[in-house]
Amino acid sequence: MKLYITKIILGTFFLLTTLIPAQNISENKYLVKGNCEMCKERIESTALKAGAKKAIYSIDKQTLTLETSANILAEDILKKIAEAGHDNEKFKTSNETYQKLPSCCHYERETLAEKPSATDNHNHLKNENEFFVKGNCESCKARIEKAAKSAGAKSAVWSAEKQTVLLDFDSSTTSANQILKKIAEVGHDNEKYKSTDEVYKKLPACCLYNRETELGEKNENIHSDHIENVPAIKNSDTELNQLSSTAKENSIAGVTLTATKAATSLNKKETGLVFNIDKKELLKAACCNLSESFETNATVDVSFSNAVTGTKQLKMLGLDQKYTSLTKELLPEIRGIASAYGLSLIPGRWIESIQLTKGGSTVTNGYESITGQINTELIKSAEKSETSLNLFADFNGRAEANITHVEPINDHWTQTLLLHGNGTFGDTDMNEDMFLDRPKGTQINTAYLLNYNDLERSGFGSHFGINFVKDERTAGQTGFVKKLPQSQQSLYGVGIDISRFQVWNKTGYVFKGKPYQSLGWMNQYVYHQQDSFFGLRNYSGQQQTYYSNLIFESIIGNTNHKYKTGASFLYDSYKENYLINDFKRNEVVPGVFAEYTLTGLKYTLVAGARVDFHNLAGTQFTPRINFKYDFTPKTIVRLSAGKGFRTANVFAENQQFFASNRNVQIVENGGNIYGLKPEIAWNYGASLQQEFKIFGRKSTLMVDFFRTDFQDQVLVDLDRSPQQLTFYNLNGKSFANSFQTQFDFSPFKNFDVRLAYKYYDVQADYINGRREVPFMAKHRGFVNLAYATNKNKNEGFWSFDTTLNIVGKQRLPGTSTNPIEFQIPVYSESYAIVNAQISRNFNKKLRAYAGGENLTSYHQKNAIVDFRNPFGNYFDGGMVYAPIMKANFYVGFDVTF
């Protein structure tokens, strides 16, 4: 018995000796900045030397787990770590110490730029009564602050941006622990307590924050790269933080607000495959207009489509740009008569951001999107009055100037003035075929934007815009005089004069007390006139368009179930003249639509449909569906399927072939548009987005596949005869398969790498059998390298950007019936082109840049068939598959004041 009692006493003694020290040891995680394994070793060894029992640093999570005894303060350890060169949540290192770190250890410091240094004697980075609390939106804010006050806090202010709550309380009646416990009970994880899964899952969809991120990390739901908002206006970052985040998820008239952080990013929240291209991305290249805005983007293919007029065209998913919805401010922009030259009418320096959607977009934006949507947002936000001047010139006679001025008038009104002028004055003929490699001429372009934002008080927001463009171009043989009629001179000439006027308005209203419910209405009128001639052929076109779209958005029960419904109206009036033939038509298209969004913990389903009553194409039903599933926050799968239809503008969309002696023939098929039926297509897509870390730095792998199947496609047949251009409706199958894989990663700080490979299989059943669609390479490779130096004390830095495009062989139209000297190969050769740019930011307001395009100087040597006899039967300037200009260099200058 005594032995048994002795064992109990000894066991209890040993247990107490084990537990007592454990109770005096604490383990906590702290935010510490670092980059690599060298940082990890330095941080951990410094912590251990400062008295930590255990120190484990995570490069991925940027956190240090410390185990300390009661007589060692974690703050003392973090101070030593700051003195060793690593900013943390308590102290900031001195600039001198930071600069002495090896270059691989230079982490980003911007987020801590205003924090006190380690020598400031225990000045904390976080207020004593400020605590990390996770949340997403205004609903979260209201819930957190209400819970804090119910637990005895005098006041509580939660910041979505900082992910913290600042408390004011009487310690004699309550405590921080009691308040934070109450906050966790209503569903919000914090640095002291974690909410139960049951409570968390009952939160509205907009409040479901990411539970896997570390406390203190930026919330991607707040700082997303693509924020939808109600008011049809662009706001500054400050204004965005003041708006209802629930309302931010809503979209009136599809209006988007962009608060981008990365130059190009894939929106993780979007159900569709949406890339956000920031202004920083556009500055990596010359980017004089929209057609040149995708040189550093792997998704869009940019190609010259004509050797005489020098126009550029975009292709997406292996199909021409006419199958992509091109919008500005989410209003129809480049379509109809503007198809051929519309890309050159949006100056690059006017663009604030671009949203690029692969596959069918939402039904709220119309029925014409088949392969995707490219939406351009103009500059219209600034916290204070700001004017920017850009000057650009290349070494072959092209120059341009841009002025943008944004001015807040008062708390609610902001105005923007945009001015652009360009001119091409030199005779550029690098391949010595006596034809200009690009047109000469001038463009004057001006726009005025007025924005009103009173969402906080009245719930109203509005955006008004007006734009006028005058563009005149001359091309053809060197020495051609545009002022003289073509019949009075022997040289072949091309003249293209464009006048364009448009005015638009978008107005939104958020219902008081219902941030999830909103109403939006947008209207636009466009007048577009083109007068042109191609040798002895004339083409003129006039288009007047009125577009209106009304959208109501709300929820069914809670924000897990959202819906949009509305009506649209489109009126197009076309007047065209080709040779001696006049073509007139009016398209009147009222339509209605509805869309439902179901949001779960890991998935989002968006299903919509619209019915359009087209006076010429008949009633058209257009369904679309998008599904996103987040296996983890870093592994996302998307599926999509949808239908689209459009009426083909056969003359305006194929002007690149007018600079030839092909006879135009339309094989009518009983339709009401040039005797042709409307084009109908189904698009299906699947994609995988995978994020991971390489050397402690974020990397992203994207893989996607899309297929497009056509019905009644209007085929452009160049193979029936080299002297014919034939249009007819498809009788059989036409399809496009597109596969792309893209890998984005940063091997080290400030160095970004983008690699991509694309495979296209595009075929159609022409009259003479199934063939590959011409001018479409099956294989394409893409490499983009971007590096920037660290900013100096004046915010100055250097940046370097290089892009390599590898284009595989392409099928060319048949010319076997031509004399042998005027025949071209069945397939083109493969080629590679390199673009590069170096820029120097002297400070926030001054920048200079220089670059080169097509540095490999690869060019198509025989771009024009029978160029010596432009009025003969075999002349053809439309057989272009590669650049026609050799290397071209440019310089530019930006100043903001």
Query: Each residue of 600-630: pLDDT tens digit?
Result: 888 999 999 999 999 999 999 999 999 999 9
Return the pLDDT at 228.
Answer: 36
Q: What is the pLDDT of residue 38?
A: 83
Q: Please, which residues bridge with residue 717 across strands? A: 726
Count of residues making up the chain? 897
pLDDT bin (cut points 50, 70, 90) of residue 731 is very high
Closest by CA to 417, choosing from 448, 379, 444, is 448
Average pLDDT, the chain: 87
| 873 CB burial (10 A radius; 0-12, 13-18, 19+) | middle
How far is C-alpha 52 from the chain's CA centre?
46
Of the candidates 681, 679, 688, 709, which has an alpha carbon nearest to the alpha carbon of residue 632? 688
DSSP strand pairing (324-328 vs 372-378): parallel
Q: How far apart are alpha carbons 85 and 99 in whole angstroms?
A: 9
Region 649-676 average pLDDT: 94
Cα 52 to Cα 90, 589, 743: the distances in Å are 16, 72, 40
Please state the rounded mean pLDDT for residues 581-595: 97
CA dist., res. 79 & res. 120, Å (int): 10
Using DSSP's 3-state secondary structure scheme, residue 63 falls into: strand
Reply yes or no on whether the pLDDT at 122 is more than 50.
Answer: no
Q: Is the pLDDT of residue 638 over 60?
A: yes
| Strand bridging mode 724-729 / 663-667 | parallel
pLDDT band at 446 (very low <50, low <70, confident <90, very high): very high
pLDDT of residue 654: 92
Nearest to 725 by CA among 662, 794, 802: 662
pLDDT by residue (tens digit) across 689-708?
999 888 888 899 999 999 99
Candidates 428, 165, 322, 190; CA nearest to 681 is: 322
pLDDT recorded at residue 25: 55
pTM: 0.77
Separation CA 283–CA 388 (nearest Å): 14
CA distances from 92 to 124, 165, 190, 420, 793 (A): 9, 22, 24, 45, 17
Q: What angle do CA 228, 230, 236 make, to 5 degrees?
A: 70
Helices 37-49 and 74-83 cross at an angle (nearest 10°) of: 130
Asked whether 60 and 212 are in contact (CB, 8 A), the reply is no
The confidence band for 220, taking pLDDT boundaries of 50, 70 and 90, is low
Three-state DSSP class for residue 144: helix
- Out of 14-23, 114-123, 281-290, 456-465, the most confident range is 456-465
Instruction: Report the C-alpha gap between 888 and 852 in whole angstroms.
Output: 6
User: CA dihedral in degrees (185, 190, 194, 197; nearest 10)?
Assistant: 70
H helix and E strand count, the chain: 10, 43
Q: What is the DSSP letter of 867?
A: T
At which residue do the structure tokens 């009661």 appear?
70
Cα gap 384→387, rounded to integer Å: 10
Instruction: Determine the pLDDT at residue 601.
Output: 83
Average pLDDT in the 237-242 region? 30
3-state secondary structure of 396: coil
pLDDT confidence band for 672 (50 / 70 / 90): very high
The whole-number pLDDT of residue 218 equals 67
CA distance 239 to 257: 11
In the three-class reduction of DSSP (H, G, I as helix; E, B as strand; rest coil), residue 147 is classed as helix
Contacts for 499 with CB less than 8 Å, ≥ 6 apart:
469, 470, 527, 528, 529
User: How confident is the model over 783-804, as pLDDT tens digits?
Assistant: 999 999 999 989 999 999 999 9
Helix, strand, or coil (residue 634): coil
The shares of helix, strand and coil residues in the chain, as percent rounded to the nearest 5, are 15, 45, 35
Q: 409-438: per-residue pLDDT in tens?
A: 998 999 999 999 999 998 988 888 899 998
Classify each residue of 201-218 as buried b or exposed e, where b means 16 or more C-beta atoms within 10 Å of its C-beta.
eebbbbbbbeeebebbbe
Contact 854, 395 (CB under 8 A): no
CA-closest candidate to residue 407, choices 380, 437, 389, 434: 380
Q: What is the pLDDT of residue 126?
A: 55
- Residue 591's contacts (CB-CB under 8 Å, 6 or more residues apart) are 367, 567, 568, 569, 570, 610, 611, 612, 613
Sign for the CA dihedral angle at 209, 213, 218, 220 comes to: negative
pLDDT greater than 80 at residue 256: no
From the centroid of its chain, how far is CA 249? Answer: 17
pLDDT tens sequence across 826-854: 999 999 999 999 999 999 999 999 999 99
Kindly report, residue by residue over 67-111, the tens digit of the pLDDT: 888 788 888 899 999 999 999 888 889 888 888 888 778 887 754
Is residue 822 within 8 A of residue 874, CB to CB? The reply is: yes
Per-residue DSSP letters for 232-292?
SS---HHHHHHS-HHHHH--GGG-EE----SSEEE-SS-SSEEEEEEHHHHTTS---BGGG
Q: Show Cβ contacts of residue 196 under 8 Å, excluding neighbours closer than 6 positions.
A: none
Nearest-5° Cα angle at 574, 568 to 580 = 165
- In tens, the pLDDT along 142-151 reads 899 999 999 9
As a whole number of angstroms, the distance between CA 185 and CA 178 comes to 11
Instruction: Give the pLDDT band (50/70/90) at residue 224.
Output: very low
CA distance readout (Å), 434 to 31, 201, 493, 862, 878? 66, 71, 11, 12, 16
Residue 37's Cα: distance from chain center in Å? 34
- Mean pLDDT in residue range 746-771: 95
**Alpha carbons within 13 A on the beta-carbon side of 286:** 22
The mean pLDDT value for 62-66 works out to 89
Residue 266 confidence (pLDDT): 81
pLDDT at 98: 87
For residues 694-703, b (16+ Cβ closer than 10 Å) or e, as one string?
A: eebbebbebe
Longest dimension (CA), the chain: 129
Radius of gyration from C-alpha coordinates of the chain: 31
Please write the tens of the pLDDT for every residue from 316-338.
Answer: 999 999 999 999 999 999 999 99
Structure tokens at 161: 């941006």
Mean pLDDT of the 32-51 span: 89
Residue 543 CB partners (closer than 8 Å, separation 6+): 336, 337, 338, 526, 527, 528, 529, 572, 573, 574, 575
SS3 for 370?
Answer: coil
Enter the tokens of residue 755. 């690699």
Task: Specify the pairing of strand 635-646 against strand 663-667.
Answer: unpaired
> Which tokens go with 356?
């690029």
What is the reported pLDDT for 574? 97
Confidence at residue 562, expressed as pLDDT on a 0 to 100 scale = 94
